[in-house]
Structure 1
Amino acid sequence: MDASPDPDLEAFRKTVRDFLHQTITPDIRAQAQRQAGIAAEPALGIWWLKELHKKGWAAPAWPKEYGGTGWDAARRHIFEEECVRAGAPTLWVSGHQLLGPVVMQFGTQAQKDFFLPRILNGEHYWSQGFSEPGSGSDLASLSTQAVLDGDHYIVNGGKIWTSHAHWSNWIFLLVRTAKPANKREGITFLVAPTDTPGITVQPIVSMSGEHETNQVFLDNVRIPVTNRIGDEGLGWAIAKYLLEFERAGSYAAQAQASLDEARIAAKSPDPVTGERQWDDPQFRRDFADAQLRVTAQSWMEKRVVSAISSGQNVGDAIASILKLRGSECQQAAQEVSVAALGPLGMADQRAALKPGSNEAAIGTPSAIRPTAKYLNGRAASIYGGSNEIQRNILFRFISAGQVP
């Protein structure tokens, strides 16, 4: 990898920074700072999406023919880094990052013409119906059934941990249309409006206090065959393709943002005792350890981006390493950000974190989010393929002598 500065990329970075500086006002940044979950709540997120859409930047990873930017991997990475550094709202990924590429790859022309523009402009807000109460890491064991009845499938079953389902107006689903000996066969990919009769969404409130995930019940839901993406039984291949995009992302930039917040908080004197967490040698050791992890992750991501930009195929093993180490470095940074608050790290800030809340933080404004973000971030090593699954994948590569 050539680590020397590229004038074209540096000019692009400046263009992105200038746009973010003009668009992300202090008020927008303050709203985004109340985001402890994996994405901003829709009012803020859709506003940001529409601003990006006006700029032509709503879909950084999409080809130009579908309304995307056509950016290469390096520019996409720079854009993600700068959005995090600017404190921009984090966009919900199910439409742009997950379903969009699936429709481009497997959808009919009619499906592309219908879904892609509506994903791009924010008209469709998507949720992902994959996991089930008995099928999480072992996704292929899913049991939600879809029985063909004329030109419709009748779907019965349920999904769980369905993030943003209570806000979404469309959902994509993995369903079982056959029961062959190989459980990875007989799975089909369907999409449906969430107001379809028979779809019920019930909230799951996380330990950080947010209503971000849900359980979705499907009772005799009629979904047209025209809402099937790809052939019947192709669902597992589509899911594998989709998960490649779910595991992508700038883990290091997000973790670095947590560490930057932690450094400021740790160097601020306690209003009562005047003590600083930064003066505690153990805290500084923990901070240094987390910073080393984040720096290593950052260089690994840059190395992968460089390889992709030069036309190399990095492979599944590298994708698993990025997800595994990236989620762990994020969690390490979040642990340090809570420790930086000292006793304030135990304060219940849930009232101040509710969307639209005007409640003041307990203590200082910097104390409003870290603990909730730490609690919410425990799921990072589970979703997108749990870290245990990633280690199993890596073991198979190592056993086969294909060490990345």
Structure 2
Amino acid sequence: GEWSNSTGEERGRAAVVRSEGAGRLHRPGLACIGGQRGQVGGGVKAEGNESQARRRLRATSRAPQRSLERKGVCVREEQNPHRVGFEAMGQARWTTFILGLVVGGFILGPLLAPLSTPTLTPEVRPLTVKQGGVGGKSLARETLNTISRMLRNHSCEYVYLDLGSNIGVQPRKLYEPRCYPMAENRSMFKQVFPKEALANRSVCTFGFEPNLNHVSRLQRVEKRLVSLGAPVRLFIQAAVGGHEKENVTFYTDNNKRKHEWGATIEKGGVGMGGKFARVGSGYRVHVVSLPSILRAFKDYGKIRTLLIKLDIEGSEYDAASQALLSGVLCSGAKSTHVVMEEHPWILRGPKPPTHFFQSLAWMASRTEGCTPQITARDDETYLHDTFTAGCIV
């Protein structure tokens, strides 16, 4: 082989060994590359003194050995074995790091997605949770104790349980029918509650409404009905469901025109099938279970007829089912009537809500002594009641 640079040429020789197309020296650090492409070692087998070639090369030029023109050149590579090891380790570490980023992205991506801020459509506004609500088991117990005291103090023989009172128009239809001559529930009230029972104040009403926006209105309704001698208690900031819960978020839709009639504690959404899920604002409320209320009626033991109106935006299915499974749906009174509004968006599957009502009635009929009348009904007459027509508070 040859050593050469741009200033002069010196020739030295070294023993070259050809191995599988790659020329390698017996002595480490010296390699000869032929001038022909694909020819390693130049096909030259030479003998010489390596130390002599080294001296001649050092004397020829002080330029870096890698600057030598490769025209059939023997290039000396003074490599540090430790340096080679560190470079290999560095490359391996970079490869491992990049692979770790790729794999970690696939694994952690789905887990971190829910933590990111969702892109809101024009229809959806972020939920603002207020701490104005109340919660806790003590408040649920206080509510049940209030019901028990009122049952005893007023000798209630008939009970109207208004679950989802909204602005309190249904109790007014019961006690002030003259103010609501076109009410759809008017005939039902006449059938369930005798006229003399209303006259002697033995029909008691318990209403539940968790919406804070209706507090002032409900307080006015309760005050008016009590002034007429009606035993009425409207529980505000209290929701009803299948199970007792603490500090549940109550979602509102801020639809003042419709008195927020789609507000709910269900996570599925507000109003139309979850389309407006977590829209508007919300706050914490406590949930009283329907079975616990019915147990209070059972403990009282003097109720002839119980009418339950369930319009709690999707929670009625859970509440009614738990009341039946707990064995207290029919134990609170001699005769039980259940009126429910259909909210099909809360159900999953091809069966319509009427199938649920039929199944609930069939299951109740299998229970000895339990024959409740279950009806799908929603009276929305006088929805925008403003205390008019001679019934101003």
Q: Which has the higher helix share?
A: 1
Q: Which has the higher strand share?
A: 2
TM normalised by structure 2 equals: 0.21
Larger radius of gyration: 2
